[in-house]
Structure 1
Amino acid sequence: MALLDFIYNRPNRVLELQKQYQADPRPIYLRPAGARGTLIVYGTLFSLGMMSTVYGIGCLVTGYGKPSPKDA
């Protein structure tokens, strides 16, 4: 089966790639390509969502936005 030889008869480079990946001094969550940008976007969206949630809870607790009994 020389036709498919290039698929299953490949050199095993896992160990050298693993050593190269582990030699990187950055934290594990910043090692993949594009990780910094992804974390910045995720952190921004997460912070915005949490601030909106806290604001909504604060409005529910204080009654902000409801008409006052005088106006009703």
Structure 2
Amino acid sequence: MALLDFVYNRPNRVLALQKQYQADPRPIYLRPAGAKATIATYGVIFSLGMMSTLYGIGCLVTGYGKPAPKDA
């Protein structure tokens, strides 16, 4: 069935691609394409989230933002 030859009769290039991928000296988490941008974006979002959390905890501890008690 020559009509579907391109689907099931393809060369196996897994070993060549694996050797190329493993020869890269960068850490494993930086090897895929676009990994630096992804990790940088994650770092920025994570940092903002942690700073917001610490700010919120600080506000809760100090009572910042609560109305002053009214002396009657």
TM-score by length of 1: 0.93
- CA RMSD across the alignment: 1.4
Query: What residue identity is the alignment partner of 1:13?
Result: R
Q: How many residues are matched?
A: 72
Percent of residue pairs bearing the same amino acid type: 85
**Equivalent residue for 1:59?**
59
- Inter-CA distance 36–71: structure 2 relative to 1 (3 Å threshold): farther
Unaligned 5+ segments in structure 2 are none
Task: Map 1:1-72 onto structure 2 (within 5 A).
Answer: 1-70=1-70
Structure 1 position 71, deviation (Å): 6.5
Moved more, 60-69 or 24-33: 60-69
* 1:24-71, Cα deviation, whole Å (9 max, x unpaired): 000000000110011111100100010001100110111001012147
What TM-score, normalized by structure 2, do the two folds share?
0.93
Question: Which blocks of at least 5 consecutive residues in structure 1 are unaligned?
Answer: none
4+ runs of 1 displaced by more than 6 Å? Answer: none
